């Protein structure tokens, strides 16, 4: 019996990008099945720094990984692809900075653009998760640890990524991600 030379992957790449299309409503998984097990890579996007966190394969706990200082797409791409491969990530969970009322912001649109780019370079599905106040909570946790300003700055983004990823884990890892409030919806009626 012969083996297939290139076994199919759960998220085959199509010409021009990843084998799925991020949902405009917040999810991220279009085609293909969403893996129910495997490591999740949490991403706290920033134009200058990107915080990273990782889950265990059973998706119980998130741990801060590192903070990456962006340089250029040409240099950043191989870095993120290597991290995803090294940790055998199955899914990317990108923080979505929404307004307090649950609606999209300019920052959330930038995070979506970054998430789409990450999907293209890693070949992994992306799910977007509400990250409102994650940096603020991360800063509070680091202040409680009595770290210096310099140490807090070094750790803030990776701890924020951990908090985003842990919130996603605790919500049961919904493949559709965060539901986005539309202007005619009452945000108090929204659930994640």
Q: Tell me if 60 is assigned to some domain.
A: yes
Q: Please say whether the beta carbons of 43 and 177 come within 8 A.
A: no
pTM of whole model > 0.75? no
**What is the structure's pLDDT at 103?**
85
Q: Tell me if 87 is assigned to some domain.
A: yes
Note down pLDDT in tens along the chain; length 192 residues.
443 333 232 223 333 333 333 333 344 433 346 788 899 999 999 999 999 999 999 999 999 999 999 999 899 999 999 999 999 999 999 999 887 888 888 999 999 999 999 999 999 999 999 887 566 555 566 556 566 666 666 667 888 899 899 999 988 998 888 777 665 554 454 444
**What is the structure's pLDDT at 89?**
97
As for how many domains the chain has, the answer is 1
Q: Tell me if 119 is assigned to some domain.
A: yes
Q: Tell me if 20 is assigned to some domain.
A: no
Q: Tell me if 153 is assigned to some domain.
A: yes
CA distances from 54 to 18, 91, 152 (A): 21, 10, 19
**What is the structure's pLDDT at 165?**
95
Q: Tell me if 190 is assigned to some domain.
A: no
Q: Tell me if 144 is assigned to some domain.
A: yes
Label the pairing between strands 39-44 and 49-55.
Answer: antiparallel
CATH code (residue 107): 3.30.420.140
117, with CB counted inside 10 A (0-12, 13-18, 19+), is middle
Domain hosting residue 164, numbered range: 39-181
Q: Tell me if 29 is assigned to some domain.
A: no
């Amino acid at each position: 019996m012969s083996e297939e030379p290139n076994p199919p992957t759960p998220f085959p790449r199509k010409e021009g990008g990843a084998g799925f299309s991020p949902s405009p409503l917040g999810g991220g998984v279009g085609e293909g099945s969403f893996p129910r097990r495997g490591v999740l890579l949490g991403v706290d996007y920033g134009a200058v720094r990107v915080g990273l966190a990782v889950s265990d394969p059973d998706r119980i706990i998130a741990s801060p990984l590192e903070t990456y200082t962006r340089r250029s797409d040409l240099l950043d791409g191989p870095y993120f692809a290597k991290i995803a491969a090294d940790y055998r990530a199955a899914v990317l969970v990108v923080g979505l900075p929404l307004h307090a009322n649950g609606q999209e912001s300019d920052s959330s649109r930038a995070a979506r653009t970054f998430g789409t780019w990450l999907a293209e370079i890693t070949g992994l599905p992306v799910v977007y998760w509400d990250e409102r106040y994650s940096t603020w909570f991360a800063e509070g946790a680091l202040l409680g640890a009595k770290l210096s300003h310099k140490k807090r700055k070094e750790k803030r983004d990776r701890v924020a990524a951990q908090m985003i990823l842990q919130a996603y884990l605790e919500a049961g890892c919904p493949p559709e991600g965060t539901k986005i409030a539309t202007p005619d919806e009452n945000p108090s009626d929204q659930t994640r």
